[in-house]
Amino acid sequence: MRFEINANNIVAPISKNITYVPTLQPESNCQHHQCTMMLPRAPYLTLSRRLVWSKGPLISKSAMPNLGVFSVSSNWSAAYSTPKAEMSKTPDESYMNEVAKKVLSCSSTKTPFVVTPVDRTKRTEKPGAKSWMSKDELRKIAHPYWVLTKPRLTALVMLSSICSYALSPCTVTLPELLFLTVGTTLASGAANAINMGREPEFDGKMTRTMARPVVRGLVSPANAFRYAAVSGTLGVSLLYFGVNPTVAALGGLNIILYSWIYTSLKRRHIINTWVGALVGAIPPLMGWAASSSLAHPGAWVLAGLLYAWQFPHFNALSHNVREEYHKAGYKMAAYENPTLNARVGFRYALLMFPLCFGLSYYEVCDWVFPFDSALLNGWLAFWAYKFWWQQKQNYAKGSPTAEGMQLANIYAKKMFWGSVWHLPGILVLAMLHKKGQWDRFLDFGGNKDRLQPA
């Protein structure tokens, strides 16, 4: 904090900047922790919050009026860089007035450092004014909106759309891929933002969701809806003009299906899980429709793969937070009908085998893919079976035991994490085994049998 000085006293603070300048080495008989001086920038002094003298009176409050947020306490003292012979003086008010007079008439011959006068022409800017916000402030504002999009879920949606686009039999182009990726990401983020904006009072009752930005008040529901409107409109527009109207229509349908129909059903009936699975099946259709016709059965087999995957994934997740779902008022099979929840997860895990076979049967992938994918499908089905069997035993004779539920919880977690790695693995394998993918390298002549555009 700098104070304007005249020949009689210290007037008032004129800047919020604090300048700390190390001083001359103190004499051996100077009792203090660390000497700090006030740098004289004629006609200013810089007040430093250091203990200079351990003995002697402090500068009086009358000598430093209008200190604002700073207070004169036992931690505040000040000194002027005077010759060593004068350092033994006590910094009382009269002494500080003498210091002020010296500052006003200082010259390079009387001070051991360069004196830089303040340029008053640069004081036109208001105190605290900023030309632009800092990176930290910008990050603080933008991060809650980033969380609104559910980045990990959106990344999974985007991945399924891109993989489906790559698996389609027709030629792919980089601009079309770019529009598909950005448009799908924005549309998915819009649906997630609406979902969060509609459920803050319910999300606040669950440990898994209580840290969401709308629950914490970082983003209001109205701003979440505004953000979703901008993101959704931009995303669907990019899909319409950059890809084709079919993909744009599917993107808009998915926003409505997830943010309004699925979200509304969550508190009414357990069928919400089946409706929510449709949301996961649409992105593969979007990717396929970007370059090929949806009349090809391979598109629907791929969509069925994503639809079936939702059940072992979500049913395992909902099992371990079933009490919180119930507390928040959500109707989930994991709480309403635990055995059905486990049985459905196991059934759809088994369905992954014929669906992967279907991709080869309809010439989307080669015939090695069903065997490679069987390893991942078998791993998922194994934990789904363990979970289903344990839940069947738990509820066969009424209420489950604590030991039985502990085992079911362990198997559910195994199935959940198995599903997390299962889907990316299946999609990557499918792209590696795409029909004719390696024919040009191995010279098998497979390109002659490639599917032609519809």
Q: What is the mean pLDDT of each run of 10 residues along the chain (454 residues)?
A: 39 37 38 36 35 37 38 36 42 57 49 54 54 76 92 92 92 91 96 94 89 92 95 97 96 95 94 95 96 93 96 95 92 94 96 97 94 96 96 87 92 95 94 83 52 45
Where does residue 130 rank: exposed (0-12), middle (13-18), buried (19+ CB within 10 A)?
Answer: exposed
Q: Give whole-number Cα distances, 2 to 18, 118, 122, 148, 236, in Å.
A: 7, 11, 15, 44, 56
Give the H or E element holding residue 10. strand 10-15
Write b or e for each residue in 75-86: b if 16 or more Cβ atoms lie within 10 A of its Cβ, otherwise e. ebbbbbbbeeee
Two structure tokens written together for 363 = 């010439």
- DSSP-derived secondary structure for 200-247: HHHHTT-TTTTTSHHHHTSS-HHHHHHHHHHHHHHHHHHHHHHT-HHH
- The pLDDT, as a whole number, for residue 138 is 85
Comparing C-alpha atoms, which of 2, 82, 95 is closest to residue 41?
Answer: 2
- The pLDDT, as a whole number, for residue 144 is 92
Two structure tokens written together for 183 = 């448009």
- The pLDDT, as a whole number, for residue 430 is 95
Two structure tokens written together for 86 = 């004068």
Contacting residues for 188 by C-beta, under 8 A, at least 6 apart: 149, 153, 154, 157, 158, 235, 254, 283
Where does residue 424 rank: exposed (0-12), middle (13-18), buried (19+ CB within 10 A)?
Answer: middle
CB 253: neighbour CB atoms within 10 A? 17
- The pLDDT, as a whole number, for residue 440 is 61
Overall pTM > 0.85: no
What span, in angstroms and rounded, lies between the C-alpha atoms of 447 and 124? Answer: 73
- The pLDDT, as a whole number, for residue 363 is 92
Two structure tokens written together for 238 = 């990019």
Structural domains for the chain: 1-119 (no CATH), 149-286 (1.10.357.140), 295-454 (1.20.120)
User: What does residue 11 show for φ and ψ, rounded to 5 degrees?
Assistant: -90, -80
Comparing C-alpha atoms, which of 101, 27, 94, 85 is closest to residue 57?
Answer: 94
Contacting residues for 12 by C-beta, under 8 A, at least 6 apart: 3, 4, 65, 66
CA dihedral 178, 432, 425, 247 (to 10 degrees): 30
Q: Which amino acid is at 38?
A: M
Write b or e for each residue in 11-34: b if 16 or more Cβ atoms lie within 10 A of its Cβ, otherwise e. eebeeeeeeeeebeeeeeeeeeee
- The pLDDT, as a whole number, for residue 34 is 33
- The pLDDT, as a whole number, for residue 4 is 39
User: Over 354-410, what HEC string results?
Assistant: HHHHHHHHCCCECCCHHHHHHHHHHHHHHHHHHHHHHHHHHCCCCCCCHHHHHHHHH
What span, in angstroms and rounded, lies between the C-alpha atoms of 128 and 121? Answer: 17
Asked if 3 contacts 45 with a C-beta cutoff of 8 angstroms, the reply is yes
CA atoms within 13 A on the CB side of 343: 8
Distance of CA 400 to the CA centre of its chain: 39
- The pLDDT, as a whole number, for residue 21 is 35
Q: What is the largest CA-CA distance in the chain?
A: 101
